[in-house]
Amino acid sequence: MEQQYKILFTGLTGNLGREIIPLLKKNNYIIYTTYKYQKELDSISKDHSKFINPIKCDLLCEKDVIKMATKLKIEKIHFNSIVNLVGGFIYKDFISSNLEDVQKMMEINLYSVFNICKYSPQILLSSHNKSIINMLTPYAEKPATGVSAYSSSKAALLNLSKSIAIEFQKYDIRVNSIMTDTIDTPSNRLEMPDANFYKWIKPIQIFNAIKMLISKESKFINGEIIKLSNE
């Protein structure tokens, strides 16, 4: 019997993560997720929380990430893939922005991913199909008004993903990214009630992209950006 595919998520307790949990469950994946505060886990429904294996870890604290990686190694819990859904957004024009805004975006969108990726060779140690997936936005390539801090952090993540895709070939770890337009989640609909929801990316589209990138059939795909758009 083929062993179940095991994935470590960051940010699975967020708006997108909560939408794809049922799809992960349906496909029989074994799912772990990092979290920092209990309220993050509380945001997941009880039915879905039974399916999730939580790991308390502050991704911005390297000592915490080392502790997690060491514990996983001792307990012989090794993953096939790491999927980084962790991230955040701020809409603020450049003149109104300050260094705290930039720092916040860099912490959420870059530093957290940097730390987990740094110890991924240990976390993915025993897998024969090791991969990392990071989340990008079109703003990383084409900035717009009001998203200077956000787009800068995602542009940095794009560069990081491309860089470690090259360096991690020696560990047989593939690093790819999913670039997506606005995602159709309940929270986004509340924030933008007058938008055209039809054009938004559905969570199942992102799930299908993740499923494809972590599959054996994609073992030769590395350093790529899968772009999802309904335009």
Q: What is the pLDDT of residues 12-46, one digit of tens each?
A: 999 999 999 999 999 999 999 999 999 999 999 98
pLDDT band at 1 (very low <50, low <70, confident <90, very high): very low
**142 in a domain, yes or no?**
yes
**78 in a domain, yes or no?**
yes
The predicted model gives 168-179 an average pLDDT of: 97
**34 in a domain, yes or no?**
yes
The predicted model gives 130-147 an average pLDDT of: 96
**Cα(60)–Cα(76) distance, integer angstroms:** 24
The predicted structure's pLDDT at residue 78: 87
**Residue 173 belongs to a domain with what CATH number?**
3.40.50.720
**175 in a domain, yes or no?**
yes
**196 in a domain, yes or no?**
yes
pLDDT at 141 over 90: yes
Residues 58-71 have pLDDT tens digits of: 999 999 999 999 99
The predicted model gives 216-223 an average pLDDT of: 95
Residues 142-152 have pLDDT tens digits of: 999 999 999 99
The predicted structure's pLDDT at residue 3: 63
The predicted structure's pLDDT at residue 64: 98
pLDDT at 163 over 90: yes
**Cα(128)–Cα(144) distance, integer angstroms:** 41
pLDDT at 230 over 80: no
Instruction: Compute the mean pLDDT over every residue in the chain, rounded to the nearest whole number.
Output: 94
**1 in a domain, yes or no?**
no
Do the beta carbons of residue 127 and residue 78 sit within 8 Å? yes
Residues 77-124 have pLDDT tens digits of: 989 999 999 999 999 999 999 999 999 999 999 999 999 999 999 999
Specify the pTM: 0.95
Edge to edge, the sheet with strand 173-180 lists 52-56, 30-35, 6-10, 81-84, 130-136, 173-180, 225-228
Domain that holds residue 101: 6-228
- Total domain count, the chain: 1
The predicted structure's pLDDT at residue 83: 98
Beta bridge partners of 133: 83, 176
Reduce the DSSP state of residue 137 to 3 states and report it.
coil
